Amino acid sequence: MKHQIDPKIDCVFKALLGAEDNSNLLVHFLNAIIGSDLAAPLAGVDILNPYNDKEYLEDKLSIVDVKARDINGNIYQIEIQLVNFANLPERILYNWADIYSQQLQQGEGYYQLRPTYSIWLLAENLIKDDTDYIHTYKVRDNKGRTLNNHCGIWLLELQKFTAQHVENEQQRWVRFFKEGEQLNDETDLPDWMTTTEMRQAMSTLKQFSDKDQDYHAYQARQNYLREQLTIQHELDEERKAKNEAVLREQAALKIIQEKDMELEQLKALLAKNNLH
């Protein structure tokens, strides 16, 4: 390969899992990540928003998630998120609810709703008090009983995956997205990358690496995302500075209030002494 390619960059991510030619990779990915929660392994899916190279070549790739439907009508959404922001959990839940609610058209009933599953790959850690790299969320009561099987949200925190040996296909995909940029020679892959699916995934990376037009488009998307990361960092720093200023003001106000209280107590004590 002429250049290293990061599979987390949106156009590459969508080409990997959203291209019609890679639909078998999408099925393999879904079975690997959430297969244990499905009634049976997926045999195939229809991609609802397939990848089109003209979209990113013309810089019109605005929808970078992958949506698919299986033979039973169940819906799957996969999205990559390179940077976290304050309301990301709300966005994740809103996106799931939006996709779920869009199933019904005018005149259709609730019985026609089908399970909707969302998978988010996160380049930055979101869950601060847990070392697990995968988190599963469903609608459950306080006894662990699910309301129904229509909701499933999976978060994959790539940074938290530290296993040295790949033990299953789920780990293989997580490691690929975490370390894929470092794999720059498709002829000399590490052992964990020598499966048929991983070789096919590497061929997609090779296309972005070796075709000049594709690589220039990849660079443009990468630069755009870097700019967005920089803007987000600046906003976070600005928000942090404002929060720190508010805390300082609150601390100063508390000191003033304590001083005023001490002064009032002293006045009361002097007034009492004068009476005597």
Q: What is the pLDDT of residues 201-254, one digit of tens each?
A: 999 999 888 887 778 778 877 777 777 778 777 777 787 888 888 888 888 888
As a whole number of angstroms, the distance between CA 136 and CA 90 comes to 16
Between 274 and 165, whose confidence is greater?
Answer: 165
The pLDDT score that the predictor gives to residue 62 is 56
Note the Cα 194 to chain centre separation in Å. Answer: 26
- Determine phi and psi for 15, rounding to 5 degrees: -65, -35
Q: Is residue 170 within 8 Å of residue 164, measured between CB atoms?
A: no
Distances (CA, A) of 78 to 4, 99, 114, 276: 23, 12, 17, 80
Task: Identify the residue whose tokens are 């096919």.
Answer: 200
Token reading at 96: 């799931």
The pLDDT score that the predictor gives to residue 59 is 56
As a whole number of angstroms, the distance between CA 108 and CA 106 comes to 6
Largest CA distance in the chain: 98
Residue 194's pLDDT band (cuts 50, 70, 90): very high
The full length of the chain comes to 276
Note the Cα 102 to chain centre separation in Å. Answer: 21
Q: Is residue 99 within 8 Å of residue 116, measured between CB atoms?
A: yes
Token reading at 230: 């920089």
Token reading at 94: 């809103």
Q: Of the candidates 156, 130, 147, which has an alpha carbon nearest to the alpha carbon of residue 32? A: 156
